A = this chain, B = another copy of it.
Amino acid sequence: MKKFEEKTLQSTEIFKGKIISLQEDIVELPDGKTSKREIIKHPGAVAVLALTPDNKIVMVEQYRKALERSLVEIPAGKLEPGEKPYDTAMRELEEETGYSCQQLEHIISFYTSPGFADELVHLYLAKDIVKKEDALPADEDEFVELVELTLAEAEGYIREQRIHDAKTAYAVQYLMLDEARTR
């Protein structure tokens, strides 16, 4: 998986933040010329497609500063240092929604923006979720509101662009495929 490899001639860290860092690499291209690559390093993240006993999809509405608007998304969050994606998914589900789950099933992992970022999102399926009375509290700077949608409602939210991100669109399509196959 090294086809057309771009060799690093120089790598400069430009910014190191709470969540992301930015580096600029000077690379040697396969034809010997050089070019610059702007790269965001990200710790990776998880997302959880959680279904209630009456088959509603658990989502959260939250403000996304990068977009200057709120979105309805499946619960998600970034990996803490040393944390396994499975454990992050269990934690984020509980923190953001108050639901917990005995077991998660891995659906897929994908890079969100391979052109400039190394963020890898691990998507899990949570069935048989139960509401916890003593759920983990949300992060201090995170304000989210629980939204529970039927599949048809979620499809409507996508058309209205209230759901408007890749992981949630993928998760909704996953359920549409599941429904089409079991009909």
Contacts and interface: CB of A to CB of B under 8 A. Distances in A.
A29 B62 CA distance: 12
Interface in A140-169: 140-141, 143-145, 158, 161-162, 164-167, 169
Copies of this protein in the assembly total 2
Contact of A39 (B65, B112, B166, B174): B65
B62 A4 contact: yes
Nearest to A174: B173
| Range, interface on chain A | 35 or more
Contacts of A36: 17-18
A35 B4 contact: no
Interface of A: 1-6, 14-15, 17-20, 22, 24-25, 27, 29-31, 33, 35-40, 42, 45, 61-67, 69-71, 73, 76, 78, 108-119, 121, 140-141, 143-145, 158, 161-162, 164-167, 169-170, 173-174, 176-177, 180-181
